[in-house]
Amino acid sequence: MNLLTTPRNDMCYCPGCSHGMVLERLAAAIGATGRRPEQVCLVSDIGCIGTADRYFECHTFHGLHGRSITYAEGIKRVRPEMTVVVLIGDGGCGIGTAHLVHAARRRAGIKVIVCNNFNFGMTGGQHSPTTPPAGHTSTTPDGAADYPFDICETVRVNGADFVARGSALDPSIGTLIGAALNAPGFALIDVWELCTAYYVPSNKLTPPRLVELSQRLNMPFGVLFDRTCGPKSLRAAEAAPAATPSHLPHDQAPPAESQAATADVVLSWPERTEICVAGSAGQHIRSAAGTIGKLAVAGGLFAAQQDDFPITVRRGHSLSNLIIATTPIEYAGLDRPGLVVLLSRDGLERLGGLAELPADCVVVAASELALPPAPARVLRFDAEPLARAVGRASVALSALAFGLVEKEWIDPAALRGAAHRWAGGEYKDADIRAVDAGTALSRGAVT
Ligand code: SF4
Ligand SMILES: [Mg+2]
């Protein structure tokens, strides 16, 4: 199965950039393993290669510069059966060196593909930790002075299980990527690439010169270490029993007293429900979704939350997509929202209107909000009296509780019971009040 959704020429990379070639090889190598999209998670770093996840049809995760290794290791620990692949550049390896070293040391079962083009491409061709001696970059116009970071040797001496290096221009790179994917334990492949926008023109780098460079630096191509050829050592991550409950890492499992308390609060829920809470910064949108998600998890359900807000977090829209399901959530995007809670024009604009909502969707909207035509059923609530009753910061949670009950996804008594039993933290009392008020709204205080 080909997980790549976009032909190389339609990708965002500069003409001749090696990134597209590596992605094609990676997709082919994953396809050869027979793994399905839901069995693969691609974790991307920052930089040009950090855009790669948009071209793949599988689980993806995109995070901060140099931190992709940590996200990947976390995902692998929770879902050890999943193939977790990191796409990181040479810049990311420099920024996240400690993560790389310790993931190798722990033999985390992740597969790291380093797209190494010897410079920071996305930001204008600055030198990176792998820039070769005398390499010309925008920050080393007279040539780099330092010896480059040997990524392969570093992870090898720190416990990696499989280490290889190769050229993106050599067709055998696909075989090396495949071997890395199939290797048990921590695998890394250092793929030397051409950045045709910056490093290539400044250094007259060509595919044959990549090979010469490898010889000159004594950084050979090929498989450099394969633990399966020597004494085997089982990785803790693969040998460890599944976390309890199976979808949670140990440190996120409900405390023992909460599990015991589930005996008298039963959350009966449809198989999969998709919710969007949309408003503005400061309306506690994310907290509302998070509170309901945590109650669901405490009650033995599965929940996934995705937030959307501008980088300037204290202004503009705030959206939370929340999925609650009775089975593990393989895909955390919203396909068919059944409930939309709308608190402000910012949220409405970010949603792009309501016309695309399915007809069986329920929209819960503040009464002062002018709404465009919607095929969905629209329920109004008066935000001002609600704010006076529960506090302005709890209006979103009340509205969400109201919507859940109106949607008949949960019995109001069960939702109140869940809040009283499992709400916690600094805002416990406020959350309980908000849920109580929201479920009371469903009993007739609708305007
Ligand atoms: S700047 Fe360099 S690494 Fe980035 S897309 Fe262009 S050629 Fe590729
Ligand atoms: Mg780079």
Q: Which portions of the chain are predicted below pLDDT 50?
A: 231-263, 444-447
Q: Is 434 in the pocket of ligand 1 (CB under 6 A)?
A: no
What is the Cα 438 distance to its own chain's centre?
31
- Candidate from 195, 200, 203 with most ligand 1 atoms within 8 A of CB, to mutate: 195
Distance 199 CA to ligand 2 centre (A): 9
Binning the chain into helix, strand and coil, the percentages to the nearest 5 are 40, 20, 40
Q: Could you give the angle at the alpha carbon of 92 between the alpha carbons of 90 and 95, nearest 5°?
A: 115
Distance 37 CA to ligand 2 centre (A): 27
Question: What 3-state DSSP class applies to 41?
Answer: strand
Distance 113 CA to ligand 2 centre (A): 12
- Write the residue with the smallest CA distance to atom 5 of ligand 1: 13
- Give the pair of three-digit tokens for residue 326: 């009775």
pLDDT, residue 422, reads 92
Evaluate whether the domain defined by 250-441 bears CATH number 3.60.20.10: no
Tokens 């020597």 map to which residue?
230
Atom number in ligand 1 closest to CA 16: 7
What is the Cα 381 distance to its own chain's centre?
34
Question: What 3-state DSSP class applies to 338?
Answer: coil
pLDDT, residue 265, reads 80
Q: What percent of the chain has pLDDT over 70?
A: 90
Helix (H) or strand (E) holding 389: helix 383-390
Tell me which fold the domain 8-238 belongs to.
Rossmann fold (3.40.50)
Please give the Cα distance from 140 to 412 (Å, whole number).
65
DSSP state string for 392-434: GGGHHHHHHHHHHHHTTSS-HHHHHHHHHHH--STTHHHHHHH
What is the Cα 392 distance to its own chain's centre?
31
Beta-bridge mates of residue 119:
127
Distance 223 CA to ligand 1 centre (A): 26
pLDDT, residue 311, reads 64
Q: Is 197 in the pocket of ligand 1 (CB under 6 A)?
A: yes
217 exposed, middle or buried (CB, 10 Å; 0-12, 13-18, 19+)?
A: middle
Q: Is 196 in the pocket of ligand 1 (CB under 6 A)?
A: yes
Domain boundaries, the chain: 8-238, 250-441
- Candidate from 9, 12, 14 with most ligand 1 atoms within 8 A of CB, to mutate: 14
- Write the residue with the smallest CA distance to atom 1 of ligand 1: 121
Q: Is 135 in the pocket of ligand 1 (CB under 6 A)?
A: no
Please give the Cα distance from 404 to 314 (Å, whole number).
27
Distance 119 CA to ligand 2 centre (A): 4
Beta-bridge mates of residue 101:
none
Distance 121 CA to ligand 1 centre (A): 5
- Give the pair of three-digit tokens for residue 97: 């060196």
pLDDT, residue 309, reads 83
- Give the pair of three-digit tokens for residue 54: 């948009």
Contact 377, 385 (CB under 8 A): no
- Candidate from 122, 131, 193, 202 with most ligand 1 atoms within 8 A of CB, to mutate: 122
Please give the Cα distance from 79 to 249 (Å, whole number).
9
Tokens 């509780």 map to which residue?
401
Helix (H) or strand (E) holding 383: helix 383-390
Distance 13 CA to ligand 1 centre (A): 6
